[in-house]
């Protein structure tokens, strides 16, 4: 049998730094087409928010489809930045193009993730199940790109990250609920989307990330083929003979600060009381933080490095997943994701451990990957600064220079039936695609 008759998979990564949106899309697509020598079977695509002001995202997608077959499946969204074979970028766009005769492909989409994440996930699930119904391949994989958190617009207060005590708790919670469910500004609820995906595809592996802008947290976008979406989940579904290995780690360590959560919202996301006391005041006391820390510039820059450790999902096997303390709502505070159970602790990390997370994640790769995707926390990107180039080099060396994209998001996770769901902040998450080592 000639080598060409064996099943083949080829992947390439392209990057653009052009300012004009349409020209950027055309450059990406032409690069992919030239190197694959044929139209890709699917595209994974990420962009920073900057193109919103330089032609718009619709023009960016139009540029891609000026070059590629208009039926080419595309999944992606806006990110804080990205790392790939070409380098490290806080502005621009990138895509991974794949051709394979070892995969069946489907794309799903669901809307209104902040209002009803279960229904949104179910919409996407239905499309994936229909698209892969006839596949005979053994291994399933989902890439879930989900709308991230948006700073709520609580009138008459407006869009603020810190609302200090003063307004009645019940009134504030009603206003927050209105913003969340009606305006769809507030918590991403992306872990609830992922949980619904797991309930429907328990034997699939998954990688997920929540889209965002360049820091303020006011808007984010998802891409489904030639459509620009908000408050949506877009899912790439694959059935393949390839092995897909996923892994998550955060390398944070416990401090000696532990406490009991004695009152929280029904969705386990808003903490009202700690140790039987108003949550905000008790957290400040435990951390020995002055009241002056409650300003929007200092608060988030500090709390990202001292998240609350706990279990984030019934599907999780990790009892110490980092939950960043986000918006202050009077005497309460909002976590970036649900926290199951009452016992919690404070975690922390340093720059050395941030870098070591990459080596720890990729130290034992069970096969030679054909390509890889990584979802990672924006705080890692912003904290490491020019050390991000070390991350890029570490990944490149571990993968033996195979194509990859690491995209920086605001809520990230991986799932496998063996390892469970790892949903957290401050994490590094990998999905490696390759041949079964036993059959090599």
257 and 271 in a single domain? The answer is: yes
Beta-carbon neighbour count of residue 111 at 10 Å?
Answer: 18
Instruction: Print pLDDT tens along the chain (440 aa).
Output: 333 455 589 999 999 999 999 999 999 999 999 999 999 999 999 999 999 999 999 999 999 999 999 999 999 999 999 999 999 999 999 999 999 999 999 999 999 999 999 999 999 999 999 999 999 999 999 999 999 998 887 777 778 788 877 667 778 888 888 888 888 988 899 999 999 999 999 999 999 999 999 877 889 999 999 999 999 999 999 999 999 999 999 999 999 999 999 999 998 999 999 999 999 999 999 999 998 898 887 887 888 899 999 988 888 888 889 999 988 989 999 998 899 889 999 999 988 999 999 999 999 888 889 999 999 999 999 999 999 999 999 999 999 999 999 999 999 999 999 999 999 889 999 999 997 643 43
266 and 415 in a single domain? The answer is: no
315 and 395 in a single domain? The answer is: no
Radius of gyration of the chain from Cα atoms? Answer: 21
Which of these three, 301, 318, 348, is where a domain ends? 348
Which of these three, 295, 319, 348, is where a domain ends? 348
Which of these three, 332, 348, 364, is where a domain ends? 348
- Cα-Cα-Cα-Cα dihedral sign, residues 192, 163, 309, 347: positive
Q: What is the DSSP string of 379-392?
A: HHHHHHGGGHHHHH
64 and 123 in a single domain? The answer is: yes
Range of the domain at 63: 3-148+187-249+353-439
128 and 272 in a single domain? The answer is: no
Strands (DSSP E) found in 241-355: 243-249, 253-264, 270-274, 277-278, 308-311, 321-323, 325-329, 332-335, 340-348
The pLDDT value recorded for residue 7 is 58
């Amino acid at each position: 049998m000639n080598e060409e008759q064996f099943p083949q998979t080829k992947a390439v990564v392209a990057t653009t730094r052009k300012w004009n949106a349409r020209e950027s899309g055309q450059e990406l697509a032409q690069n992919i087409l030239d190197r694959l020598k044929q139209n890709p079977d699917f595209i994974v695509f990420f962009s920073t928010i900057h193109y919103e002001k330089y032609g718009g995202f619709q023009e960016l997608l139009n540029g891609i489809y000026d070059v590629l077959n208009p039926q080419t499946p595309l999944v992606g969204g806006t990110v804080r930045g990205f790392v790939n074979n070409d380098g490290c970028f806080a502005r621009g766009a990138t895509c991974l193009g794949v051709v394979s005769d070892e995969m069946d492909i489907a794309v799903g989409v669901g809307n209104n993730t902040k209002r009803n994440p279960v229904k949104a996930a179910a919409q996407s699930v239905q499309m994936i199940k229909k698209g892969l119904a006839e596949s005979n391949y053994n291994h399933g994989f989902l890439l879930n790109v989900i709308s991230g958190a948006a700073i709520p617009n609580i009138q008459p207060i407006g869009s603020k990250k810190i609302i200090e005590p003063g307004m009645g708790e019940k009134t504030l919670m009603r206003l927050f609920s209105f913003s969340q469910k009606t305006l769809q500004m507030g918590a991403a609820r992306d872990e609830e989307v992922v949980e619904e995906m797991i309930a429907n595809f328990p034997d699939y592996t998954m990688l997920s990330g929540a889209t965002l802008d360049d820091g303020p947290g006011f808007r984010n976008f998802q891409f489904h083929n030639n459509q620009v979406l908000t408050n949506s989940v877009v899912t790439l579904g694959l059935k393949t003979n390839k092995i897909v290995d996923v892994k998550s780690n955060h390398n944070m360590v416990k401090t000696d600060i532990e406490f009991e959560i004695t009152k929280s919202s029904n969705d386990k996301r808003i903490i009202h009381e700690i140790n039987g006391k108003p949550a905000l005041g008790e957290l400040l006391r435990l951390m020995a933080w002055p009241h002056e820390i409650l300003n929007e510039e200092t608060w988030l820059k500090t709390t990202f490095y001292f998240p609350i450790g706990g279990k984030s999902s019934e599907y999780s096997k990790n009892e110490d997943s980092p939950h960043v303390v986000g918006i202050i709502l009077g005497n309460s505070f909002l976590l970036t994701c649900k926290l199951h159970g009452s016992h919690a602790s404070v975690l922390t990390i340093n720059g050395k451990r941030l870098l070591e997370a990459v080596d720890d994640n990729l130290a034992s790769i069970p096969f030679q990957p054909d390509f890889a995707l990584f979802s990672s926390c924006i705080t890692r990107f912003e904290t490491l600064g020019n050390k991000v180039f070390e991350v890029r080099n570490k990944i490149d060396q571990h993968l033996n220079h195979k194509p990859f994209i690491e995209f920086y998001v605001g809520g990230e996770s991986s799932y496998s039936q063996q390892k469970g769901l790892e949903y957290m902040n401050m994490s590094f998450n990998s999905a490696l695609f390759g041949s079964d080592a036993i059959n090599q």
